Amino acid sequence: MSIVPSIVMPRVVTVPAQPRPVAQTGNDARLEKSAQDFTAVALGEMLAPMFDTLDQTGGTFGGGGGEAAFRPMLVQEFAKTIARQGGFGLTEQVAKAMLALQEKRS
């Protein structure tokens, strides 16, 4: 009888995003996209140290140079997903600040 080790995958907890207002113009859509991109980068920077503390010797994927090379991409994709689902409310705040700066310039 062979024993196959069980693979424990991290459980992703999703928080239902609040309905997002539909952008009225192309400029609003670009502003919203920029705010979301900024949020994803900020979240990626916050998540990266968490993943740096994981044991990289062996594990499910064996560690090594390949895992080290792709880990930052995985973290960034996690951050993009969190930002797309509403993040921590940062996107709305960034969008408001960007809009206020644009209105001051006009």
pLDDT digits (tens, 9 = 90+) for 52-70: 887 666 666 666 777 778 8
Q: Is residue 44 part of a domain?
A: yes
So what's the pLDDT on residue 17? 54
Domain span at residue 45 reads 26-105
Q: How confident is the model at residue 22 (pLDDT cuts 50, 70, 90)?
A: very low
Task: Indicate the pTM of the whole model.
Answer: 0.66
Write out pLDDT tens, residues 67-92: 778 889 999 999 999 998 887 888 88
Query: What single-letter DSSP state applies at residue 3?
Result: -
Residue type, 89: G
Distance CA 44, CA 83 (A): 10
Q: Is residue 35 part of a domain?
A: yes
The torsion angle over the Cα atoms of residues 97, 73, 49 and 39, rounded to 10 degrees, is 10
* 29-38: average pLDDT: 91
Q: Is residue 4 part of a domain?
A: no
Number of domains in the chain: 1
Q: Is residue 74 part of a domain?
A: yes
